[in-house]
Structure formats: C-alpha cells, structure tokens
Amino acid sequence: MKRHLHVIALGLFVLFLLYDILVWGSAPLIPDVGNDIVDSANREAPLAATYILLGRSLDGSMPALQAFGEGRLTAALSEGFPRIRADSTVAMDLIFNTTWNVEHRWLKTIYWFPPLLLIATAILWWRRPRQISTIRGRR
C-alpha cells in the first residue's frame, strides 16, 4: 500500500482538478455577476483565473457539464450575488473571506485541494519505496 500512495494522491489531484475546472469554468455563464467574478479573478486570484480559463472550453463542449458547474457555483455563491453586483471589484474578496452556506464552504475548501495534492504527490513519489537488489547478476 505504501508504494502506491503517490498514485492515489495523483488520482485525487486529477479528480479535484477536474471538479474545480468544471465549476469555476462556468463562472462567466452566471447571469449578472459572471463577468464581475471573472474580472475580479483575473486581477486578484491567479488560481481561480486558471481554473476559469481551463474550464471554459470544457464546459462549452458539453451542456451537461456546463449545467453541473453553473448549478454548483450558483448554489455556493447565490447569497453573495447582491454584494458582488454592488461592488464588482471585490468579488474574490467576498468569495474567499466570508462563508454563506455549506456549498460555499466546500467550494472554498476544494479550491485549494489540487495545489496541495500536487505537492503531496511529488513528495510521496520522491519518498516511495524502491526495490533494492542486493545480489548482482553475472556479467
């Protein structure tokens, strides 16, 4: 089991990265506040801007993925839409400094999983057990 931990961490990295790309990629599609969120992410949150950039094409290719991402993001951020509409320059501050509901808490938590899991994967791969050969074969 210990020799496969880096594979498990890599699988979790891919899973959470896909989730973040799907959810954040649908941000421009949210009516009234989508462009405000994207503009604020481009100014203040490079990781969110990366998720949005990568997710736009993926969400645009399949309407079901787009609906899933838009539903998750709307459920998480809907309580903050009036404040984002009032002052669009602080959208990322509002998203990451307050917690409106359970979905929002999960969105903020899962946002940080891919970078942390990438680091964990690298460390676990570097520290994985290696097979040691003590007897050399004939030459």
- Taking the domains of the chain in order of start, what are their residue ranges? 2-10+24-127
How far, CA to CA in Å, does 50 sit from each of 2, 76, 97, 113, 139?
A: 32, 19, 20, 14, 53
Q: Are 32 and 81 in contact (CB under 8 A)?
A: yes
Distance separating alpha carbons of residues 101 and 13, to the nearest angstrom: 25
pLDDT along the chain (139 residues), means of 10: 79 93 88 86 89 85 86 87 83 84 89 92 81 69
Taking the model in full, what pTM does it have? 0.83
pLDDT value at residue 41: 87
pLDDT value at residue 98: 81
pLDDT value at residue 137: 64
Distance separating alpha carbons of residues 18 and 134, to the nearest angstrom: 43
Q: What single-letter DSSP state applies at residue 26?
A: T
